[in-house]
Amino acid sequence: MNKASLIIASSLLASRVLGILREMLLAKIAGVNEQKNALDLAFMIPDILNHLIGTGFLSIVFISLFTTHLLKQNENEGWRSFSNIFNVLGLLLLILAVPAFIFMRELILLLTAAPPSEDILSMATHFGRIILPGQLFFFAGSFLIAAQQARKQFLIPSLTGIIYNASIVFFGWTFQEIGVIGFAVGVPIGAFVGFFVLQIIGSYRGGVKYFPAFNPTNPELIKTVKLLLPMILGAGSMFALEFAIRSFGSMFGNHGISSLNYSYRLMYTLVAVFGFSVGAAKYPDMVRMFKENQTALLKEKVWGDLAKILAILIPAICAVTAVSLPAVRILFERGAFTQENSILVNNLLLCYLPASIGLCAQALLVRAFYSMEKMWLPTLINTLTFAASLFLYTPISKIAGIYSVPIVSFICSFVQLAILLVFWQRQGSKPFIRDFVAAAVALVVFAPLGFYLSKYAFNWLLNANLVYLMFYSAVFSLLFFSFAIVLQILLGSQSSSYIIILLKRRIVGSSVNNSKKS
């Protein structure tokens, strides 16, 4: 990883630690009860509204447009375009937010496969209306983050998730005596501070300029909308997984959505740290290579980055497989979260883990397509695959029950990745074939070993106290991670060797700096 990737990965890891702390607090207060289900369900409409305006994709589109202006040495025109797009789309978001707020209850009913109970529906509607205003700050923050990332300024943008999750944890803890409402209150406040106030400060320091422009017919606005349209109409992988949890989780009683969400959040930590961090950091460079007609170099870089992602992700998956049950117990099993809940969440997590491979690879590969302004291709692939997967949930649920949701999710993510790779140019892939094979072998060897270790020690793990669980998790996660890395190196993986060398440099560099300070 380069410096930008490390900054983003570190911040995402810190954010995910806070996110897990948030889930730990929720587990203690609510476990998998109706309030927790309602809170998870309450995010459905705000997230869809966010998706409809393209908030999650604004940085992808804007960086491409702004890079064009930078290469033409016309930065001021880029800021005028930035301001106009922000103003017009911001007004559109406000127009959509009002009916979403009013008809929250009806929209939740419309989009759930099985109607939730009246109590859950009422609470989800109330929580959703508290959460909804936060989307306005997410939108503004996404623009400001994109503007900073276009200039390769990653530090302040990387703090958004940390502040956002810290706010939710703080208000959740403060109001825990009256249930989970504090977690809903923390969302708009965290969004305001982390995505709006902090990013205004970062943008000011980074030289971002704002103009009071409003021209709906501006050619660059039209081009932006055209680039956003396929992504808005489509279903991205992470959005599809979260939608599946909230829509189909209601089929499995009052505990369904919550149990799925706990396990999904743990899996998502791997995707955020090893997938999104690299994709976000590499995207500005990918755009620049394409704009400068260095397509062959772009393709080679993407293959190399995919190999590096897998070289470290696979050992992480093997480690999590070995210690999933003690990890779930350490994180969640207290208060309202019972031992039975731990067993279910652990089993769901093991079903979700394979999906992290497809999702991490897509986090980079989809951005590679976007950097070449091929928006429709990955969107159509992901959306059509997701649409087809919707027909699998009901028949598979008759056999696998609640496990049908993660099972269908990882099948869908692998099919999407396989099709994307077919359409991605194979040029530049040959030097990394051995790395991919080595990663696959490490997965095949150590993931089953981790699973059987947990199965063999199952009864002991269920009854062990916290100290033993922590010791067990530390020892076996380190062993499985290390062995998987070593096996890849022995099989000739250059990416694994590169990661070890990079870590050594970081450690030695840190030691030297500390020595100089002392």
pLDDT single digits (tens) 275-301: 877 777 788 888 888 888 888 888 888
Q: What does each C-alpha distance from 194 to 46, 134, 145, 331 come to in angstroms?
A: 18, 11, 11, 25
Say if residues 317 and 273 touch (Cβ distance below 8 Å).
no
Closest to 127 measured CA to CA, from 204, 193, 44? 44
User: Who contacts 512 (Cβ-Cβ below 8 Å, separation ≥6)?
Assistant: none
Q: In the 8-state DSSP scheme, what is residue 375?
A: -
List, for residues 323-366, the tens digit of each pLDDT value: 999 999 999 998 888 899 999 999 999 999 999 999 999 888 98
Q: 114-118, 201-205, 258-262, 445-449 — which one is most confidently predicted on average?
A: 445-449
499 vs 133, which has greater pLDDT? 133
At residue 236, the pLDDT reads 61
* Residue 75 counted as domain residue: yes
Residue 62 has pLDDT above 60, yes or no: yes
Residue 517 has pLDDT above 60, yes or no: no
Task: Report the alpha-carbon distance of residue 57 to residue 142 in Å, rounded.
Answer: 8
Region 107-129: what's the mean pLDDT? 88
* Residue 25 counted as domain residue: no
Q: Which pLDDT band holds residue 511 (cuts at 50, 70, 90)? A: very low
* Residue 181 counted as domain residue: yes
Domain boundary among 166, 200, 233: 233
Closest to 272 measured CA to CA, from 8, 1, 476, 30? 8
Task: Report the alpha-carbon distance of residue 218 to residue 459 in Å, rounded.
Answer: 65
* Residue 27 counted as domain residue: no
Do 219 and 267 fall into the same domain? Answer: no
Region 152-174: what's the mean pLDDT? 86
Do 208 and 285 fall into the same domain? Answer: no
CA-derived radius of gyration, the chain: 23
Residue 515 has pLDDT above 90, yes or no: no
At residue 456, the pLDDT reads 93
Task: Report the alpha-carbon distance of residue 376 to residue 287 in Å, rounded.
Answer: 17
Amino acid 489 reads I
Tokens representing residue 413 in the block: 């993510």
Do 259 and 229 fall into the same domain? Answer: no
* Residue 466 counted as domain residue: yes
Do 176 and 296 fall into the same domain? Answer: no
Do 227 and 290 fall into the same domain? Answer: no
CB count, 10 Å around CB of 225? 17
Amino acid 136 reads L
Q: 114-118, 377-381, 463-467 — which one is most confidently predicted on average?
A: 463-467
Domain boundary among 233, 265, 285: 233
> SS3 for 426?
coil
Structural domain including 280 reads 255-509
* Residue 363 counted as domain residue: yes
The stretches of 292-400 forming alpha helices (DSSP H) are: 295-332, 339-371, 376-400
Closest to 116 measured CA to CA, from 26, 263, 249, 264? 249
At residue 221, the pLDDT reads 85
Do 175 and 77 fall into the same domain? Answer: yes
- Encode burial over 398-437: b for 16+ CB neighbours within 10 A, e otherwise: eeeebbbbbbbbbbbbbbbbebbeeebeeebbeebebbbe
Do 74 and 205 fall into the same domain? Answer: yes
Residue 420 has pLDDT above 60, yes or no: yes
Q: Which pLDDT band holds residue 387 (cuts at 50, 70, 90)? A: confident
Residues present in the chain in total: 518
Task: Report the alpha-carbon distance of residue 216 to residue 229 in Å, rounded.
Answer: 16
Tokens representing residue 174 in the block: 């403060």
Lowest mean pLDDT among 44-48, 328-332, 401-405, 459-463: 44-48
* Residue 242 counted as domain residue: no
List, for residues 242-253, the tens digit of each pLDDT value: 878 878 887 887
Do 210 and 316 fall into the same domain? Answer: no
Residue 464 has pLDDT above 80, yes or no: yes
DSSP tally for the chain: helices H, then strands E: 23, 0
Lowest mean pLDDT among 149-153, 403-407, 462-466: 149-153
Do 273 and 178 fall into the same domain? Answer: no
Task: Report the alpha-carbon distance of residue 510 to residue 508 in Å, rounded.
Answer: 5
Instruction: Calculate the CA 459 to chain-centre distance.
Output: 33
Do 157 and 68 fall into the same domain? Answer: yes
Region 193-216: what's the mean pLDDT? 86
In sequence order, what DSSP letters do the residues of 129-157 get, joined into one string? HHHTTHHHHHHHHHHHHHHHHHTT--TTG
Q: Which pLDDT band holds residue 512 (cuts at 50, 70, 90)? A: very low
Tokens representing residue 340 in the block: 């039975």
Tokens representing residue 126 in the block: 């109330």
Do 187 and 299 fall into the same domain? Answer: no
Region 407-429: what's the mean pLDDT? 85
180 vs 1, which has greater pLDDT? 180
419 vs 226, which has greater pLDDT? 419
The total number of structural domains that make up the chain: 2
Q: Which pLDDT band holds residue 238 (cuts at 50, 70, 90)? A: low
Domain boundary among 171, 200, 233: 233
* Residue 250 counted as domain residue: no
Do 273 and 208 fall into the same domain? Answer: no
Residue 133 has pLDDT above 60, yes or no: yes
Q: Mean pLDDT in the chain?
A: 85
Region 390-413: what's the mean pLDDT? 91
